[in-house]
Chain A
Amino acid sequence: GENVEQHPSTLSVQEGDSAVIKCTYSDSASNYFPWYKQELGKRPQLIIDIRSNVGEKKDQRIAVTLNKTAKHFSLHITETQPEDSAVYFCAASPSAGKSTFGDGTTLTVKP
């Protein structure tokens, strides 16, 4: 089955700096790659996703890149703010199938 590895497990940045989180996956059949943000005590919520026919997608301060050949994808957050502090999960999913999640990255943005 699919195996998703996520790095780093913790990340601390200064407010205004950029943050990058990287994930690799193993199943070449995966074609949907979402990123979820989970604030403390809350549910995971989708912040951005990318499909295998696209190499990059951007939404304001958040961008995701995908390299299907190398089987890795990354989340980029620019101009970080304290409210970006949360746990971020990447996931990989084949068509009409289950999403396999990475172990999560705890991002701390220091004011």
Chain B
Amino acid sequence: DAGVIQSPRHEVTEMGQEVTLRCKPISGHNSLFWYRQTMMRGLELLIYFNNNVPIDDSGMPEDRFSAKMPNASFSTLKIQPSEPRDSAVYFCASSLSSGIRELFFGEGSRLTVL
């Protein structure tokens, strides 16, 4: 298995632009998580899905952030409009929702908003 696949790996954009981050979870995993990592705030959970349904989005900073999971093999995290304080590494992770619950992280998407 190729693991969790994220794209793009790096994104540099200007304030006000729309950013879309993409994630393909491991086949057979039914939970998907979006985390944001910064030096100041560590690893923050933004939202997680179970069987494609959003379960908890309490970590989403504000209305500028939205996430979707249209099917079991694809999820997006969108920021519109982007701001410099959104600069961070965004990790997608997937797992089984029961039994072995190890999180498998993607390589991350490093976002820089100028």
Q: Which residues of A come within 8 Å of B, CB atoms?
A: 1, 32, 34, 36, 42-46, 49, 89, 93, 95-96, 98-104
Task: Give per-residue flags for B65-91: 1 if the beta carbon is below 8 A from chain A beta carbons, else 0.
Answer: 000000000000000000000000001
Bound Cα distance A99, B102 (Å)? 10
**Which bracket fits the contact residues of B?**
10 to 19
A32-B101, A99-B33, A103-B42 known; 10 new pairs, CB 8 Å cut-off, are A36-B103, A42-B107, A44-B91, A44-B103, A44-B105, A45-B105, A98-B45, A98-B48, A99-B101, A100-B45
Contacting residues, chain A, for B48 (C-beta < 8 A): 98
Bound Cα distance A103, B42 (Å)? 5
State the 3 A-B residue pairs at the shortest beta-carbon distance, nearest first: A43-B105, A101-B43, A103-B42
The answer to whether B103 and A34 have CB atoms under 8 Å apart is yes
Bound Cα distance A46, B93 (Å)? 12
Contact A101 B42, CB 8 Å, known A43-B91, A44-B91, A96-B97 = yes
Q: Report A68 CB to chain B, min CB distance, Å.
A: 17
Chain A residue with minimal CB distance to B3?
A43
